[in-house]
Amino acid sequence: MIPRFYPIFDHPDWLRRALPLGVKFVQLRIKDQPQDRLREMLAEGRDLCRAHGAQLVVNDHWQLAIELGFDWLHLGQEDLESADLMAIRGAGLKLGVSTHDEAELDRALTVIPDYIALGPVWPTILKKMKWHQQGVEKLTEWKRLCAGVPLVAIGGLSVERAPLALAAGADCVSVVTDITLNADPEARIGQWLEATA
């Protein structure tokens, strides 16, 4: 089972701030970096997490996840098209997959994922998507359809909304901007850890 709190960051510097506070499951979603720099950042994140007994999930970059000896990988639906799933599983990587509708969920379940993410549960400012707001009711439906696969709620999450998502069926809540745009990110992480303990 995965921890109930799952922050997502875009730089290892965030890990230096979050890991000493007790974060145990975290994703690095790094975009628009040259390959060499990307490799350096992921290796740095891997080493930081290992030093703190935390698990690091790599977003998208499955070849580097294999090369650098990661344990976890997260793929979006588009990435499922091009990723070598046999190589990923052969390397022993655990896999999380994003979903937004039933067709995507059906497809995700065929790869036997280690968690399914549903989003955005609430409106999100992080990225433009055709899905505006799934709602907490859909978490309950997804939990039933996932048939035992852990369910991650993402999109528009806040400390105040986390209990609603967990009560609706999510096993884990994932967050980006509620921490990274907060005036005091460390204090906010502390509130998240308390809310999901």
Domains of the chain (ranges, CATH numbers) = 5-195 (3.20.20.70)
The rounded distance, in Å, linking the Cα atoms of 3 and 96 is: 13
pLDDT in tens, 81-134: 899 999 999 999 999 999 999 999 999 999 999 999 999 999 876 655 565 688
Percent of the chain past pLDDT 90, that is, above it, reads 92
pLDDT for residue 132: 66
For residue 67, pLDDT over 60 is answered with yes
The closest of 117, 132, 130, 123 to 158, measured between CA atoms, is 123
Beta bridge partners of 173: 5, 153
